[in-house]
Amino acid sequence: MGIGQYIKVIGRGKDGARSLSREHAADLFAQVLDVSVTDLEIGAFCLAMRIKGETPQEMAGFLDATHQRLSHLPAGDTPVIVIPSYNGARKLPVLTPLLALLLAREGLPVLIHGTATESTRVYTSKVLLALDIPAQVAIKSIAPGEVVFAPTALLCPGLQRLLDVRRVVGVRNSAHSLVKLMNPCVGKSLLVSSYTHPEYAESMAATFELIQANALLLRGTEGEAVADPRRVPRMQGFVAGCPVALQEAQSGTLTALPDLPQAIDADSTAAYIRQVMAGDMPVPPPIAQQVAHILHLLEQL
Indicate if 161 and 19 belong to the same structural domain. no
Order of strands across the sheet that contains 215-219:
147-151, 110-114, 80-85, 189-195, 215-219, 235-239, 242-247
Indicate if 86 and 187 belong to the same structural domain. yes
Query: Residue 102: what pLDDT?
Result: 98
Indicate if 104 and 209 belong to the same structural domain. yes
* Residue 72 domain-assigned (yes or no): no
* Residue 172 domain-assigned (yes or no): yes
Number of domains in the chain: 2
Residues spanned by the domain of 196: 80-298
Helix (H) or strand (E) holding 5: helix 4-10
Query: Residue 19: what pLDDT?
Result: 94
Query: Residue 1: what pLDDT?
Result: 58
**Helix (H), strand (E), coil (C) string for 45-81:** HHHHHHHHCCCHHHHHHHHHHHHCCCCCECCCCCCEE
Indicate if 54 and 181 belong to the same structural domain. no
Query: Residue 146: what pLDDT?
Result: 98
Indicate if 181 and 54 belong to the same structural domain. no
Distance CA 243, CA 123 (A): 30
Identify the domain boundary among 21, 39, 67: 67
Indicate if 48 and 99 belong to the same structural domain. no
Query: Residue 117: what pLDDT?
Result: 80
Indicate if 243 and 191 belong to the same structural domain. yes
C-beta separation of 180 from 204 below 8 A? yes
* Residue 88 domain-assigned (yes or no): yes
* Residue 119 domain-assigned (yes or no): yes
Q: Using alpha carbons only, how large is the chain's radius of gyration in Å?
A: 19
Q: What pLDDT tens digit does each residue of the chain (301 aa) get? A: 579 999 999 998 878 899 999 999 999 999 999 989 999 999 999 999 999 999 999 999 999 999 999 999 988 899 999 999 999 988 899 999 999 999 999 999 999 999 988 778 899 999 999 999 999 999 999 999 999 999 999 999 999 999 999 888 888 899 999 999 999 999 999 999 999 888 889 999 999 999 999 999 999 898 899 999 988 899 999 999 999 999 888 876 665 667 888 899 999 999 999 999 999 999 999 999 999 999 999 999 9
Distance CA 229, CA 277 (A): 15
Indicate if 167 and 247 belong to the same structural domain. yes
What is the DSSP secondary structure assignment for residue 135, as one 8-state letter? B
Query: Residue 75: what pLDDT?
Result: 84
* Residue 121 domain-assigned (yes or no): yes
The CATH number of residue 19's host domain is 1.20.970.10
* Residue 45 domain-assigned (yes or no): yes
Nearest to 276 by CA among 94, 81, 101, 89: 101
Question: How far apart, in Å, are the Cα atoms of 93 and each of 55, 104, 260, 265?
Answer: 32, 20, 8, 7
Helix axes 96-105, 285-298, angle to 10 degrees: 50
Distance CA 163, CA 44 (A): 15
What is the DSSP secondary structure assignment for residue 216, as one 8-state letter? E
Q: Is 262 left (phi over 0), alpha (psi -120 to 50) or beta?
A: alpha
C-beta separation of 284 from 93 below 8 A? no
Indicate if 135 and 59 belong to the same structural domain. no
Indicate if 277 and 179 belong to the same structural domain. yes
C-beta separation of 176 from 162 below 8 A? no
Indicate if 155 and 26 belong to the same structural domain. no
Query: Residue 199: what pLDDT?
Result: 85
C-beta separation of 223 from 196 below 8 A? yes
Query: Residue 254: what pLDDT?
Result: 63
